[in-house]
Amino acid sequence: MKKLITAEGIVKVYDQGGEPQTVLSGVSLEIGEGEFAVVMGPSGSGKSTLLYVLSGMDPADGGTIAFDGRALDGLSEDALADLRRSKIGFVFQQPTLLKNLNILDNILLPSLRDHKKDSQRLKKRARELMDGMGIGELSQREITKVSGGQLQRAGICRALMSQPRIIMADEPTGALNSKTAHEIMDIFAEINREGTALLLVTHDPKVAARAGRVLFMSDGQIVSELRFQNKDEMAQDKNLLEVMEKMKELGI
Ligand SMILES: Nc1ncnc2c1ncn2[C@@H]1O[C@H](COP(=O)(O)OP(=O)(O)OP(=O)(O)O)[C@@H](O)[C@H]1O
């Protein structure tokens, strides 16, 4: 599998009330093209920080990260922002959409900012994505008047607008009930089948059971890993048991 992200010895230190706290202490990992990886671990173990550092949103204090063979540390702020916007889609637990814009405009906004002249093409793409995700009827709806699942679908549409190579998501199902979480995971699985890599942070073993690889973090390090060859429905029950066993073993 061709490498998409290569990280070696990543260190991240936060200042906490004047005291330095090492949140990532030498994390090394590779994410392949089209891979579906999940990060699990106790609260505070550094999962979100790892995601933000790998995406170039937050600079590392040590180590190296390369995206598609290109080192992030030598890049200017502009080049980094450009890479992030064009190659990485980000999905959050609660989509950060603007309250004064309708769903369609929220999905369009980031890509329109970068490609003003392409507005017709972008609108067409946004509508196709919304239709594909079952929210085609909601384009003019205010974002305060849709369900959590519909909002998350809009967040995923927005992340897909630039046809990213990877979607990174921080607890994308954390605010949803289990039925809606399952539907959102079906969407992620489909996105992955179409070739986009996924890196998801989750506390939910059912989400992890659908991945090809589960990385377990503890105290700023990757301490264990599971790999699943088979991601189909039948295999997921077996994968789930393995994830739960590992969580128990690691005290998560
Ligand atoms: N901007 C920041 N400034 C200072 N400390 C931070 C900052 N962001 C995170 N931390 C600290 O870094 C540690 C790791 O945080 P992080 O959010 O990466 O953990 P996590 O594993 O994602 O946790 P959770 O599962 O609760 O979301 C925590 O102790 C947190 O308090």
| pLDDT score of 122 | 92
Q: How far is the CA of 51 from the centre of ligand 1 (A)?
A: 11
Cα 153 from Cα 132, distance rounded (Å): 10
| pLDDT score of 94 | 79
Cα 178 from Cα 160, distance rounded (Å): 23
Task: Answer yes or no: CATH 3.40.50.300 is held by domain 3-250.
Answer: yes
> From the CB of residue 219, how many other CB atoms can be counted at a distance below 10 Å?
14
Q: Do the Cβ atoms of 229 and 20 come closer than 8 Å?
A: no
Distance of CA 223 to the CA centre of its chain: 21
Helix, strand, coil percentages (3-state) for the chain, rounded to 5, are 40, 30, 30
For the CA of 201, the closest atom of ligand 1 is 22
Q: Whose CA is nearest to atom 9 of ligand 1?
A: 49
| pLDDT score of 98 | 85
11, 27, 38, 47: residue to mutate for ligand 1 pocket, most atoms within 8 A of CB: 47
Contacts made by residues 14-19, CB under 8 angstroms, sequence distance 24+: 14/49
CA distances from 124 to 75, 112, 136 (A): 32, 12, 12
E strand segments, 33-186: 36-40, 62-67, 70-71, 88-91, 166-170
Q: How far is the CA of 44 from the centre of ligand 1 (A)?
A: 5
27, 40, 49: residue to mutate for ligand 1 pocket, most atoms within 8 A of CB: 49
pLDDT in tens, 120-170: 889 999 999 999 989 999 999 988 889 989 999 999 999 999 999 999 999
Closest among 168, 152, 159, 158 to 50, alpha carbons compared: 168
DSSP 120: H
| pLDDT score of 111 | 86
**Low-confidence stretches of the chain (pLDDT beneath 70):** none
45, 92, 207, 218: residue to mutate for ligand 1 pocket, most atoms within 8 A of CB: 45
Tell me what percent of the residues of the chain surpass a pLDDT of 70: 100
Residues lining ligand 1, Cβ inside 6 A:
14, 16, 23, 41, 43-49
